[in-house]
Structure 1
Amino acid sequence: MITLKNVKKRFDDKEVLKGVSMDIEPGKCNLIIGTSGSGKSVLLKCIVGLFTPEEGEILYEGEDMVKMNTKERAELRQSIGMLFQGSALFDSMTVEQNVRFPLDMFSDLSKAEKQEKVDYVLEKVNLVDAHKKLPAEISGGMKKRVGIARSLILNPKYLFCDEPNSGLDPQTSLLIDKLIREITEEYHTTTVVVTHDMNSLMEMGDHIIYLHQGRVQWEGNNKEIFYSEDELLNDFIFASDFFQDARKMRRIEDGNPEEETADKPGNY
């Protein structure tokens, strides 16, 4: 369990996180959503230790990461996998070298043992023929899968993904969503995904945190979201006709058709 208590973060005179408190549920896909500038990526970087909050606690199994010393943080980070928005691959390294990099940095495995693990995770993300290719020689979707493979190489307990579908076409985005969900379920990984992709929300939103102006505005799952009465959340999620229709269909399927309140704020 990861628990945040009253986390605040500012840059100069701008307060981005204004007292965020929440639980990240273990073994599930936890999605952080919100408009641009709501604090999603800053929150993620605080949770993984890239930013240090001015106030608050970030508890991993009850231990506050904010108060950890350098050695303790280094040990914790070995249980964390991170998929960055731009994949963050090394251009001069091949796919297998990129994936092996964390092992070279943090393990004393033999060359053969490292290769075995690299082969395994590349097969897991369906990239068995890409070992010797450079990042410039593969597609955006393949780069994301390489990033996922690298994030898995140390068998992390926690997996963090920052906008994993950014810049991808809809079909590839669905494949990435499916892969992240499969990994979460197979390894019982605690997964945290920052996203603005509403298809991702519907596909893998076991636990959803909606941020608004640096605060947690709403929490729930991808079923409860169809019945939310939070006006700000509804304006954000159901802005398009497509998701308005999806909401209506879900309510009909659940035996709870729309009431005659469509003209009320927050009702669609």
Structure 2
Amino acid sequence: MIELRDIKKGFGDKEILKGVSATMESGKVNLIIGSSGSGKTVMMKCIVGLMTVNSGTILYNDQDFTAMDEHEKKTIRQEIGMLFQGSALFDSMTVEQNVMFPLDMFGKGSYKEKKKRVMECLDRVNLKDAAKRFPAEISGGMKKRVGIARAIVLNPKYLFCDEPNSGLDPQTSLLIDKLIKELTLEYTITTVINTHDMNTVMESGDHIIYMYEGYKQWEGSNEEIIFAKDEKLNDFIFASEFLRDAKEMRQMEMFRDKNWRDRLQGGKPEK
């Protein structure tokens, strides 16, 4: 679990994060969404320690990350997997060598043990046959899957993804979303995704944080977002007439689901 308590971050006179508090649970896909300039990218960078907050607290399983020295932070970072927007693969290394890289940097054991772990991860993302190929020889979707394999090779407790569907076609995006969600559940990872992709929001968003001008404007699940009354959120998520129609159709589908109706009538406060 990752917990943010009243974190603030600014540059000079410009305040970017204005007292954000949130909890991101393990075994769930936690999304950070918002328009450009909303503070979502800065928030993710603060969570992983690429930026230092001006005030507030970031907790990893009740350990105060903001109060740690560099050695202690390194221990936490070894439990973090990163999937970068552009995959960030090494062009001069094969797929297998790219996935092996974190094991060479932080892992222990023999080469044989490392190789076995690499092939397990490549098999999990259905890329075992591409192990000897170079990044230039594979598609964008395959590169993303290599990035995922590299991100999970150290068995991380936390997985951070920056725009995992950027530059991908809709069908490949669905496959990447499905894979990330499956891995999150399978390994009980705390997954945090920074995204603009509305399909990711609607299909994978177990927990969603909507940022607006540095504030946490709304928080809830992909089911709750369908019935949310927050005007700024709805203007952002359901901006087009097509998406507004899709929202109404999803509402009708959910009302036909007795389990959802029972939960809705159970007095859960609306976000």
Equivalence for 1:127: 127
Cα offsets for 1:48-69 (capped at 9, x unmatched): 1111111110011111111101
Equivalence for 1:242: 242
How far residue 234 of structure 1 moved from its aligned partner, in angstroms, is 0.6
How far residue 254 of structure 1 moved from its aligned partner, in angstroms, is 3.3
Equivalence for 2:53: 53
Determine whether 1:150 maps to 2:136. Answer: no
Q: SS state of the match for residue 167, structure 1? A: coil
Q: SS state of the match for residue 41, structure 1? A: helix
Equivalence for 2:260: none
Equivalence for 1:172: 172
Gaps of 5+ in 2: 257-271
Equivalent-residue separation in structure 1 for 2:183 and 2:121 (angstroms): 11
Aligned AA (2:68): M
Equivalence for 1:185: 185
Q: SS state of the match for residue 66, structure 1? A: helix
How far residue 253 of structure 1 moved from its aligned partner, in angstroms, is 2.3
Equivalent-residue separation in structure 2 for 1:167 and 1:206 (angstroms): 23
How far residue 155 of structure 1 moved from its aligned partner, in angstroms, is 0.2
Equivalent-residue separation in structure 2 for 1:169 and 1:184 (angstroms): 23
Equivalent-residue separation in structure 2 for 1:38 and 1:169 (angstroms): 26
The ranges of structure 1 where at least 4 consecutive aligned residues each deviate by more than 4 angstroms after the TM superposition are none
How far residue 157 of structure 1 moved from its aligned partner, in angstroms, is 0.6
Equivalence for 1:101: 101
How far residue 200 of structure 1 moved from its aligned partner, in angstroms, is 0.5
Tell me how large the CA RMSD over aligned residues is: 1.1
Equivalence for 1:264: none
Equivalent-residue separation in structure 2 for 1:44 and 1:140 (angstroms): 24
Equivalence for 2:210: 210
Equivalent-residue separation in structure 2 for 1:101 and 1:170 (angstroms): 30
Equivalence for 2:63: 63
Aligned AA (2:17): L
Gaps of 5+ in 1: 257-268
Equivalent-residue separation in structure 1 for 2:162 and 2:35 (angstroms): 14
Cα offsets for 1:60-110 (capped at 9, x unmatched): 111111110111111111111110111111111111111000100112210
Aligned AA (2:94): T
How far residue 14 of structure 1 moved from its aligned partner, in angstroms, is 2.3
Equivalent-residue separation in structure 2 for 1:38 and 1:8 (angstroms): 13
Task: Single out whichever of 11-20 and 222-231 deviates more from structure 2.
Answer: 11-20
TM-score, length basis structure 2: 0.92
Equivalent-residue separation in structure 2 for 1:107 and 1:71 (angstroms): 17
Aligned AA (1:221): S
Equivalent-residue separation in structure 1 for 2:54 and 2:196 (angstroms): 26
- Structure 2 matches for 1:253-264, cutoff 5 A? 253-255=253-255
Aligned AA (2:225): I
How far residue 242 of structure 1 moved from its aligned partner, in angstroms, is 2.5
How far residue 132 of structure 1 moved from its aligned partner, in angstroms, is 1.4
